[in-house]
Structures are given as structure tokens and as C-alpha cells.
Structure 1
Amino acid sequence: MSNKREREYERRRYEKWQARQAEAKARQRRQRIVAGSVVGALVVVIGVVAAVVANGSDDTAGSPTEPGDTTTATTPAAEATNSDLVPDPALAEDREWTGEITLGQGALGISLDGAAAPQAVANFVTLAQDGFFDGTTCHRLTTEGIYVLQCGDPEGTGLGGPGYSWGPVENAPADDVYPAGTIAMARQSGNGSSMGSQFFLVYEDSKIPSDGAGGYTVFGQVTSGLDVVTAIADAGTADGSTDGSPVSDVIIEGVKIQ
């Protein structure tokens, strides 16, 4: 009976994963249809952000060109929330989780705070157990103003996600300071309900200004192996800028959570 329940659980989990994948593919098709307008607008926005970070500018009043916004996901705001697919925050079980993120460059020990950020932890644990992150790239490295490596996009472009989004922001630091080792959710600028699967690893203390949606959801810490991320950052970006893809591919080989 126990084996039967386990098989049924695995079957339901697999079907849910298939639903997420199907929705992600459908979203990609919709994005291609509007590529002429949406992608053009995104290119302009991303170009402005990159220029501001490179110049060390500090814009004001929640502008999308603030340095802090370089950690946000660029998923279009028009994406449906698909709330029925969002993992139940109760799955976080109000406890600390431990695990490991294995990159091609080395392993990171992690802890996740299910009490402080139940929705984010439930989301991350569910995606990790479904193998969602396996084989994905950490597509964005920022080395000036803020110091983060962004991961969790199945497309590797900054546009991808799990086929749903959620919010609001949980457990953001009141002083906007994200210490080295912080694991936090990426999101779209000004949209606290745009979180999906993208997250960022802080490898050096960073002050990331809040916007109208608040700060960024802190849901975990790197407990070992932060030097792996630091070495990736020290190698720089592929184009030599302060905000771009790492010079060498950073692939998540697997995520184990317990």
C-alpha cells in the first residue's frame, strides 16, 4: 500500500510538471507572435539598464534604470499568473530546509527558511524536486554596484519561467542590504507578483534599492561553496561588461533538497 501511494504521488507530481512545461511552451508561442513589439521594447529597456549599471549611475524614484533592478526577471507583465499552478506555501512546513546546488564549477551548500518565506521556499523546493532546474544556466552576472549571479531561467535569456508567477514579496530586508550568501527571488521591476523560478545568489554584500513593490524575497542562504560563485564572478562576463552572461557557461547540474 505504501508503494502504491508513493507511485500515485510520483504520477501526480509528474503530471503537474507536464502541465507547467505545456504552459511554458504555450507562453513561448505567444511571445513569438508579439516578438516585434515586446522584444523591441525589452531590448530598449535592457540597454538602458546595462548602460546605467556600467556608468555607476544612481537614478531615483523607482525608475527601471536603478542599479537594484538589474536583478529582476524580465518576464513580460502580461504573463498570466496561473495561480492554480503555484505551489502551496504550506509545503514549506514552517521549517528550515537544507540542500545542495551543483554547478559545473562546483557545489553550493544551501539552507532555505520555510518560516520566513513559505511561498518562495515551497516554490523552490517543488521545482527542485521536479528537476526543473537541472541543465539550466545561470544566465546573468553583475559585477558592479550589486554583486549577484542570476539563475533559474529554463530559457537562459532572462525571459523564462515555470509557466506561472506569484507574489507578493516576502522577507525583504528593511535596510535594502543583501549580505554575501543571500539567496533571493528575482522579479520584474515594480511588480511584486512577477516572481516565478528565477533567483539570484549574492556573492558580495550588496545594497539593492527597493521600489514600489518592495525589496526582493530572501528565502535562503549559501552555507558553503560561496567561493565557487566568487570565482565565476572574478572571471567576468562574456562581453567584458559589468552586467551580462558569465564568460564561461554556468550550468546547474542538479538541486537536492531535504
Structure 2
Amino acid sequence: MPTKDRQRQLARAKLERQMARRAAAAKRRRQTQAAVGAGIALLLVVVGAVFLVVNLSGDDDKDTTTEAASGPTCTYQKADSSTGKVKDVGQPPTSNIPDTGTRTVTMTTSVGAIQFTLDQANAPCTSNSLAFLIGKKFYDKTSCHRMTTSGIFVLQCGDPFGDGTGGPAYRYGTENLPTNQHPPYPAGTIAMAKSSEEISVGSQFFIVYKDIPEEALGAEYTVVGKVTKGLDLVEKVAAKGVEGSTGDGKPKQAVNITTVTVSPAAS
């Protein structure tokens, strides 16, 4: 039978072995946790890198798309039989539309040259349409078919058939309505004619030669430009009156358009 000293030695040795095993187990746990932690950290780094690359690529794509789609997008609808007679020269482009600055239109007519601007900044789709039609010589060898001399003071042009019933093979909506201008249509204004239909703007436009009272003509017609030369010629035509007695008809002095040109769009 072992002595008490021997029993104490054996107990201490047993305790030391237990402590050694516990220390070894703790070391293994720490090593495992360290390995797992390193793996998680590496995974987070990889995920973060992928996230950064994807988002940077997404921003680049977004910026490229934005640049490619810069400028307004215009919608031109095909004209049907209800819109009147059609002269088909195609349709204007609908994207990458110039939307800054102005262009100058020059009409050579039987009464002299008339010039006006196209306001690309405020009426880009209308300016785009007019420039397209001018480029197709749509207005060449046409006449201004209507003049009004009572309440509303305009010379209306742009019908290829010369009777107020015609236009291109498309129609579009209004823009740049003069809702905050009083009167909405002062002398020198170039505005687009239309019917009561929402999508009915075509090729016909009118030249305002005298301020139109607001109660006579509301702000329902697109303002596309302003006369810069030749308004006095229109005033002289108006002074000679219109056919008939209503103050609304064909001008007594014919206004025949020989050619229409437009300056290039600014690059």
C-alpha cells in the first residue's frame, strides 16, 4: 500500500497530466479558431473586392448609357387619313436631338426674304421636325394659304397642298407653350398650327405680325422661334387684306415660297 507521500506524488502527476491535456486542447481550439477567422477574413476581402468591381463597372455602364442617351427623345406618330392630305418625306430622327442654341431659317418668298430662329433649347422636337422637313425641301414651291386680320393676326404657311388640309406623314405633340407670357403670342412669334387633337402638330406654322390679345388666342400652340428679318413684309401683306369679308382667308397679295433653308446645328 503506497504511503501518503507517494499518494500525493501520484495525484500531483495525474493533475499535471490533466492540465497538460487541457492546455493542448485549448491550443488546438485557438489554432482552429485562428484558421476559421483567417478564412472568414479572406472571404470578406474577396467579397468586398467583387462588390467593388461590380459597382464600379455598373457606374461606368450607367455613365455610358447616360451619355449615349443625352438630349431629348422625340416621338413622331404616323399620320392617318383623319389628319388630312399627306406629303410623305419620311420621319425625323427621334434621338440625339440638338437641344441648345438656335438655328436660322431663311424663306425666300415672292414678297422678299423672311428669316426666323428655331429655338432648339425650348422647342427641340419641333425644331428638329422643321429642320428635317426643310432638309427634304418640303416647303419649297409652296404658298402661305391663310391670313387673319381681325382679333388674331397671323400669316399661316407650311401646307404642301396650299389649302390648309395637308402636312407630312407624321404628327406630334406641343411643347414650349407660352403659358407665362402675356400676351402669349406677341408680334414676331413663330408658332405651330394644330387641330383640337392632342397629337396634331405637323408642318404648318404661323407668323404673328401683330400682338394677339390673350383672350383671342390662348397658350395652346408651340412657340418655336422668332422673326429676325422681314416682319415688315408680312405687315404689308396684311395691310392689303384677305379675300372675302371675314378677315380670315387667303391673302389678297400672294406669298409664294420659293425655297427654305436652315443653318447647320451647332456642333
Normalising by structure 2, we get a TM-score of 0.62
Q: Assess if the C-alpha contact under 8 Å between 1:89 and 1:119 holds in 2.
A: no
Over 3 Å counting, the alpha-carbon distance change for 1:98 and 1:216 in structure 2 is same
For residues 93 and 149 of structure 2, the distance between their equivalents in structure 1, rounded to whole angstroms, comes to 33
For residues 92 and 261 of structure 2, the distance between their equivalents in structure 1, rounded to whole angstroms, comes to 20
Percentage of pairs with the same residue: 43
For residues 164 and 95 of structure 2, the distance between their equivalents in structure 1, rounded to whole angstroms, comes to 25
Which of residues 241, 244, 249 in structure 1 aligns to 2:246? 241
The offset of 1:223, in angstroms, is 0.5
Which of residues 138, 141, 166 in structure 1 aligns to 2:144? 138
**Is 1:118 aligned to residue 124 of structure 2?**
yes
Helix, strand or coil: the match of 1:177?
A: coil
Mapping of residues 113-192 of structure 1, within 5 Å: 113-167=119-173, 169-174=174-179, 175=182, 177-189=184-196, 191-192=197-198
Q: Assess if the C-alpha contact under 8 Å between 1:162 and 1:196 holds in 2.
A: yes
For residues 180 and 125 of structure 1, the distance between their equivalents in structure 2, rounded to whole angstroms, comes to 23
Partner of 1:215: 220
**Is 1:225 aligned to residue 233 of structure 2?**
no
For residues 245 and 95 of structure 2, the distance between their equivalents in structure 1, rounded to whole angstroms, comes to 40
The offset of 1:225, in angstroms, is 0.9
For residues 107 and 143 of structure 1, the distance between their equivalents in structure 2, rounded to whole angstroms, comes to 22
Mapping of residues 12-91 of structure 1, within 5 Å: 75=83, 85-88=91-94, 90-91=96-97
Q: Assess if the C-alpha contact under 8 Å between 1:101 and 1:109 holds in 2.
A: yes
The offset of 1:238, in angstroms, is 2.0
Q: Assess if the C-alpha contact under 8 Å between 2:188 and 2:208 holds in 1.
A: yes
Partner of 2:110: 104
The offset of 1:157, in angstroms, is 1.2
Over 3 Å counting, the alpha-carbon distance change for 1:229 and 1:155 in structure 2 is same
Taking only aligned residues, the RMSD between alpha carbons, in angstroms, comes to 2.5
Partner of 1:55: none
| Stretches of 4+ aligned residues off by more than 6 angstroms | none
Point out the structure with max Rg over C-alpha. Answer: 2
The number of equivalent residue pairs is 180
Over 3 Å counting, the alpha-carbon distance change for 1:179 and 1:142 in structure 2 is same
Structure 1 spans left out of the alignment, 5+ residues:
1-22, 32-74
Between 1 and 2, higher relative CO (CA 8 Å, sep ≥ 6) is seen in 1
For residues 160 and 90 of structure 1, the distance between their equivalents in structure 2, rounded to whole angstroms, comes to 28
Normalising by structure 1, we get a TM-score of 0.64
Which of residues 198, 201, 223 in structure 1 aligns to 2:207? 201
Which digits, 9 at most, give the CA deviation of each residue in 1:38-58, with x for residues without a partner?
Answer: xxxxxxxxxxxxxxxxxxxxx
For residues 224 and 173 of structure 1, the distance between their equivalents in structure 2, rounded to whole angstroms, comes to 22
Code of the residue aligned with 1:118 in structure 2: it is P
Structure 2 spans left out of the alignment, 5+ residues:
1-77
For residues 152 and 107 of structure 1, the distance between their equivalents in structure 2, rounded to whole angstroms, comes to 16
Over 3 Å counting, the alpha-carbon distance change for 1:87 and 1:146 in structure 2 is farther
